[in-house]
Amino acid sequence: MTPNLKLSAALVAAALAAMGSSAALAQKAVTDQMIEADARTTGDVLSYGLGTQGQRYSPAKQINTGNVNRLVPMWSFSFGGEKQRGQQSQPLIHNGRMYVTASYSRIFALDVKTGAKLWKYEHRLPEGIMPCCDVINRGAAIYDNLVIFGTLDAQIVALNADTGEVVWKEKIDNYADGYSQTAAPLIANGLVLTGVSGGEFGVVGRVEARDAKTGRMVWMRPVVEGHMGKKFDKDGKESDNGVSGTPGKSWPGDLWKTGGAATWLGGTYNAKTGLAYFGTGNPAPWNSHLRKGDNLYSCSTVAIDVKTGQIVWHYQNTPNDGWDFDGVNEFVTYDEGGRILGGKADRNGFFYVNDAKTGQLVNAFPFVKKITWATGIDLKTGRPNYVPENRPGDPTGAADNKGKVVFSAPSFLGGKNQMPMAYSPDTKLFYVPSNEWGMEIWNEPITYKKGAAYLGAGFTIKTLNDGPIGALRAMDPKTGKIVWEVPNNAPLWGGVLTTAGNLVFWGTPEGFLQAADAKTGKVLWKFQTGSGVVAAPITWEQGGEQFVAVSSGWGGAVPLWGGDVAKKVAFLEQGGSVWVFKLMK
């Protein structure tokens, strides 16, 4: 071969190698199409909720009711150090790696075969952060070759998935004003959608959409009535995008300016409707007598067009909330008879079914056994049938500046709180981690001060009896009936996973990860992880095997705010680790 021919052959070989390398990189990068297919594929877990709809259902069925008793640990990884506290992260799986966040705004990349640490990013947190309910983080998002997560000082960080190096970082808001970020971001149409935490500090709840590759803001939508939305062009120039609602209509005076309604749990997205669904938190302050009216869009499900940032519809679960019932719980969409519906187990104790395109209320029923603030939900008007005497009293004019104390159930920690439920298209049941507890609550005078707690209420969490507090309940969204339940002594605070293997997985504060028959509720397997499970399990397949993983580490709102319940479970130990299981051969 002549030198020129040798050179040409070398160039061709180099070109082919480059093409192969590019193909490998392209194959590795996470695309919108991959995220849209996440719920139907088993080789990875690309989104919080095992799909943007949030069903937490996997079609994997190698592990099933017949063999789940052979599930054994493959490896465990410690998050390390003194930074234990609550571990609420749902891991993500892609390209042979697990990406899992941990308390104090940390994230790890691990080899899924061995548990070996590939890299760690530890966000430098300033003094004075003000997280409401522990120093937790619920997870990350993956897009292109980026891993994206939020931090306790209200920033969003995008890291190179291979190296952990920062690619872009943006400030969401000022942590000194009470803002923070704890939810897993949501990816929809190339945008990364985030909410805000901080409803107890009088922040203004909103949803922000950024270009996932660059962090550039595309639009911002407030979810407190009266605030102006914003949109941004490619050069970053800002313009108005319409006021949310009608200013002054459902808020008295200037209270809308510090109205709360934090979007602290993140959202879900349905590609068929083109809508992102965010739950909105409690209005601020808690003292409802100061803010007569419905206080839109607090305690609601808000459906937002991801292309425009406009609110398409809203449904308010607790108008003029006076109990801190919040409304932030996930809206899980599913198909039913050719119609797209969404289910939501609200903190106020009622389960709601809405049309996902229009917001029309289809059904509403209790999923806990004791509710004192309302007798039910009027299916025609969509409004609660309040029990007026069970609203905390107005402190105005009271000799001790304290309104009438009432006993309310559920407590403000909710019939269900942050722990995500699951939906199975096989059984057509929702699996809801629920709790039975109450509270004494009263109102107090309050004025707003930036960066200070803005409650105007006092409370004590109470047990209802000496029996179990928690219960995993299989709920039929058509009939509103509890099909089966598995009680638990401590309150449930971790999420749920269901699979085509006819299984439901969930964890307990006592430290167990367990699995039950999805049709009957019979517990078939359990494993002690060494600390309380307050996170959601996942499953995936790799190399012909199916795996299950969960984060373990007791913490969150219960030990901080739980009153008598916190005393009851004070024996529980903190921790910080992630466990991976597979079938014993």
Catalytic annotation, residues:
324
Q: List the one residue out of 426, 318, 423 whose CA is nearest residue 364.
A: 318
- Indicate left, alpha or beta for 373 from its phi (over 0: left) and psi (-120 to 50: alpha): alpha
| 256 vs 582: CA distance, rounded Å | 51
Q: List the one residue out of 417, 458, 457 whose CA is nearest residue 437.
A: 417
| 299 vs 303: CA distance, rounded Å | 13
Residue with tokens 């680790």: 577
Q: Are 471 and 504 in contact (CB under 8 A)?
A: no
Residue 396: both structure tokens together? 């105005």
The H or E element spanning position 17 is helix 3-28
Complete DSSP assignment for 71-107: EEEEEEEE--SS--S---PPPEEETTEEEEEETTTEE
Q: Are 451 and 176 in contact (CB under 8 A)?
A: yes
Helices (H) and strands (E) in the chain, counts: 4, 40
DSSP-derived letter for residue 405 is P
| 376 vs 378: CA distance, rounded Å | 7
Residue 248: both structure tokens together? 């002054």
Q: List the one residue out of 233, 333, 227 whose CA is nearest residue 278.
A: 333
Q: Strand, coil or helix: what is 487?
A: strand
DSSP-derived letter for residue 235 is T
Complete DSSP assignment for 95-152: TTEEEEEETTTEEEEEETTT--EEEEEE--PPTT---SS-S-----EEEBTEEEEE-T
The b/e string for 503-536 (b: 16+ C-beta within 10 A; e otherwise) is bbbbbbbbbbbbbbbbbebeebbbbebbbbbbbb
Which residues have CB under 8 Å from 185's CB, separation 6+? 48, 140, 141, 148, 149, 150, 156, 192, 193, 194, 266
